[in-house]
Amino acid sequence: MEILNLPIESQQPPAENLLRYPPSPPATQSSSRRDSSVSCDFELQKLPHNVHESEPESFRTYPLPPRSRPDNNVLAEDLKTPDHHVARDPRLIRLTGTHPFNVEAPLSELFDEGFITTKDLHYVRNHGAVPLVEDSETMDWEFTIEGMIETPIRMTLAQLINEYEQVTYPVTLVCAGNRRKEQNIVRKTKGFSWGAAGLSTALWTGVVIGDLIKAAGPKRGAKYVCFEGADKLPNGYYGTCVKMNWAMDPNRGIMVAHRMNGEPLPPDHGKPLRVIVPGQIGGRSVKWLKRIIVTAAPSDNWYHIYDNRVLPTMITPEMSANMPDAWKDERYAIYDLNTNSATCYPAHDERLALAGNIQTYRVRGYAYAGGGKRVTRVEVTLDKGKSWILANISYPEDEYRLAPEGEELFGGRLDMSWREACFCWCFWYLDIPLSQLQAADDILVRAMDESMMVQPRDMYWSVLGMMNNPWFRVVIHKEGHSLRFEHPAQPALIPGGWMERVKKNGGNLSNGYWGEKVSGEEEIPVEEEQAKEICMVGKDVTRIITIDELKSHDNENEPWFVVNGQVYDGTKFLEGHPGGAASIIGAAGQDASEEFLAIHSENAKAMLVDYHIGSLDESSRTALADGGSAAGISPAPRATFLQSKAWTKAILSAKKKISDDTKIFTFDLEHANQTSGLPIGQHLMMRLRDPVTREAIIRSYTPISEVTEKGKLHVLIKIYYDIPGRKGGKMTQALDSIPIGHFVDFKGPVGKFEYLGRGLCSIQGQRRTVKRFVMICGGSGITPIFQVLRAVLTDREDPTTCLVIDGNRVEQDILCKADIDGMVADNKSKCRLLYTLSRPEPSWAGLKGRINKELLEKEIGTCRSTNGEDLVLVCGPEPLEESVHSILKELCWKDENILFF
């Protein structure tokens, strides 16, 4: 392919990229989907009011913050949490439910703000509640410096400002979980799903931490500086550490900050005082700072040990629960960020029209490196890495280095001219001809830093899902006269992205080729670990709870909540919950299923057993889902379970293994006297939700239960597992993996055929009398056949006869064989039963081969004048149904006498 010969702007961006005050005229070149998007020129937006008032009207060439929103308020979802005092921007995407507050901005809006991010869209990582500090209290905020020092210090924020030199630095903070959603799609980690916007840049003002430590006088042997915040959590106050030599190195830029973008710190960002550690993961930049402790060893804080680690990839979430030595191994602690990049434009689902005068498209994104290193190149490939194109790089951070000596910004010295370390993200862009985009399947980007460390092609999965930095891939879809672009994933529970799509379609995301099989290369299948069944209910708990009783515990003293129709009392866990008591209190009286199952690990799900107190009755579940109350609940339970226009939940109560790949799943109905309400010959729909995307998986099945059976529903299901060269069944594998106590949604009845008994049928509402059923089936297609056959053979007054032809590969694949053999043995005059196997064992004495024309012609013959008294029922895999239909047409059977279930 043609290689664009574009230079890397490693020293200075072009003149039109300079960020100036007063602002330059806006650039017009943009091929983005939105007219308001900012191109890679990053024009300076108007300054906040405090900057206009305090700064001289001089000519500046470095970026200043865009104006923040003046109208943010406390959001409705925060009113019932401890964060009811914190105003927030509604655009932020919540990643962990209502509380604690963990958010990122929509990627396009973050990018559009430019180099500096407003407090409105800056990402937030909170482990619990935000400490409440009134404005009148901020200057009296105290913190200490203690530990291995000569002179312990206790000082207020006012003293910090008045007695120490203030500096202002631009710093990009990045959560170690940035891009974790991609890891969670491959395999669920213990962390929640960050998208690619878990980073932001601000101007921070404060005191260089080395000045404070020098004043305290560190003792010989001191090697670490530990930080502790004021956010009280179940396992103590949040804390972590950095190495002493980093803290004392002015080139590292570690500071204790009290202003953000010229304003006092907002509550979510550490009001009134925090640590800023450039070049390291955001988890080291402790907020609401209370203690600085100088030590000889790394921090022993619970959060330093059990958070922000990359454990070896072979350690699973289950294994990690019993490996304290691995968690404490400092080799696995994360300090410096790794090199990473992402594409922001084209945005996810952006469409680019191919018609018109536009000849090129500007692809744009961000890149960053860790430990003060500089991103030295960004490369783009349109052919999956066979060839690469150098992208242009813009370094807005360099503009601060050009500020005049002694320049102050927001009350702090802009001390950047001498510094070699890079603290911030940079931006890359590349103009690509539309003809090349049209010919490509995807756009991939990778960055390299000055140590020649380059982003890897393949993902390094780890139990916490941190530091995810493989090549960022955007897929290109050709749709008529336009191109549509698809990012890898969307944050939180937002569906979308090629990774989810590929996984749904059976692709192996771990094969090194993004789930796609490469031409000419044999794909080696990866054997995935079988999902472990997790029981979330107490086996001896039988209590039934109404919505009235549930709602009476909608309080902070005894918070009850619902997961999968089961009621849990969170009172005993209020002090122990990692997200704080507010996480449980916020769910009190509510159905927390979706958020709980999406966010929590297998270990957390298993813990629910200890808090299980009963089951919510079905009427209450419906009312709860609809937002209703006890007044809207009918006291009379339904006699039949299925509803044609609404989904109804049943609880999985048992799994019985029939063969290596077949099980009977038993579900408890709403009450013991309830029947399924499923007519003979019809089927029902079952619905589960994809654990990653929360999208519904819906399939139709025919239970093997007797229609008169009460309280239970039995469904025989053949589980199609993944095998080399073939992806298995999504629904059957999902059913196989859900734990006892999990609910499944049902709706029905569905189907155009119903057997009314003694030869009388209803087909699409029209009644018809049948004297003989010809039943042709294969695999799990036996289940609807079984229902009709049982109805005929168990009614001694039913004159109808049956011919059953059941085709399978091996004898073990014949489902319901013992039951069918027994029924036929008692009714030989009414039924002829034939089994045929395509891959029989030598001991097989029955028919051999597939169901073919020779067999059907011999057994049922050509079409004869039956006056519609024969009806062929067909159910099985699609190839079987198509083959049988073609053969019957050749034998002159009319479609009106052939019915496919």
Q: Report the pLDDT value the prediction gives residue 57, as an integer from 0 to 100.
A: 39
Q: Report the pLDDT value the prediction gives residue 532, as an integer from 0 to 100.
A: 56
The domain locations on the chain are 497-529, 544-632, 648-750, 753-900
Q: Report the pLDDT value the prediction gives residue 43, as an integer from 0 to 100.
A: 33
pLDDT digits (tens, 9 = 90+) for 97-117: 888 999 999 999 999 999 999
- CATH for 753-900 is 3.40.50.80
Options 83, 231, 268, 307, the catalytic residue: 307
308 belongs to the catalytic site: yes
Nearest to 417 by CA among 397, 434, 393, 435: 397
Residue 98 near residue 78, CB atoms below 8 Å: yes
> 10 Å Cβ neighbour count for 342?
24
Q: Report the pLDDT value the prediction gives residue 517, as an integer from 0 to 100.
A: 67
Q: Report the pLDDT value the prediction gives residue 322, as an integer from 0 to 100.
A: 83
Share of the chain above pLDDT 90, in %: 60
- Spell 816-842 as b/e; 16+ CB within 10 A means b: bbeebeebbeebeebbebebbbeebee
What is the average pLDDT across 50-63?
A: 52
Q: Which comes out higher in pLDDT, residue 223 or 877? A: 223
Q: Report the pLDDT value the prediction gives residue 720, as an integer from 0 to 100.
A: 85
What is the average pLDDT across 139-145?
A: 98
245 belongs to the catalytic site: no
Share of the chain above pLDDT 70, in %: 86
Q: Residue 586 — pLDDT band, cuts 50, 70, 90?
A: low
Options 102, 261, 308, 827, the catalytic residue: 308
CATH 2.40.30.10 applies to domain 648-750:
yes
pLDDT of 29 above 60: no
- Does 175 carry a binding-site annotation? yes
pLDDT digits (tens, 9 = 90+) for 328-367: 999 999 999 999 999 999 999 999 998 878 899 999 999 9
Report CA dihedral (294, 295, 296, 301) to the nearest 10 degrees: -140
Q: Residue 604 — pLDDT band, cuts 50, 70, 90?
A: confident
Q: Report the pLDDT value the prediction gives residue 580, as an integer from 0 to 100.
A: 60
Residues in CB range of 867: below 8 A, 6 or more apart: none
Q: Report the pLDDT value the prediction gives residue 37, as an integer from 0 to 100.
A: 31
What is the average pLDDT across 264-287?
A: 98
Nearest to 794 by CA among 664, 680, 638, 886: 680
pLDDT of 793 above 90: yes
Q: Give the CATH H-level superfamily of domain 544-632.
A: Cytochrome b5-like heme/steroid binding domain (3.10.120.10)
What is the average pLDDT across 533-541?
A: 82
Q: Report the pLDDT value the prediction gives residue 345, as an integer from 0 to 100.
A: 97
What is the average pLDDT across 572-598?
A: 71
CA distance 647 to 650: 10
pLDDT digits (tens, 9 = 90+) for 174-221: 999 999 999 999 998 989 999 999 999 999 999 999 999 999 999 999
175 belongs to the catalytic site: yes
What is the average pLDDT across 700-725?
A: 89
84: exposed, middle or buried (Cβ count in 10 Å: 0-12, 13-18, 19+) = middle
Q: Residue 613 — pLDDT band, cuts 50, 70, 90?
A: very high
Q: Report the pLDDT value the prediction gives residue 26, as an integer from 0 to 100.
A: 29
Nearest to 514 by CA among 443, 424, 430, 566: 443
CA distance 416 to 398: 9
pLDDT digits (tens, 9 = 90+) for 821-850: 999 999 999 999 999 999 999 999 999 999
pLDDT of 819 above 60: yes
Q: Report the pLDDT value the prediction gives residue 601, as an integer from 0 to 100.
A: 65
Q: Which amino acid is at 370?
A: G
Strands of the sheet with 351-353, listed across from one edge: 351-353, 482-486, 472-479, 442-449, 375-381, 389-390
Mean pLDDT value across the chain? 86
Residue 613 near residue 568, CB atoms below 8 Å: yes
Nearest to 714 by CA among 593, 823, 815: 815
Residue 345 near residue 363, CB atoms below 8 Å: yes
pLDDT of 533 above 80: no
Q: Which amino acid is at 874?
A: V
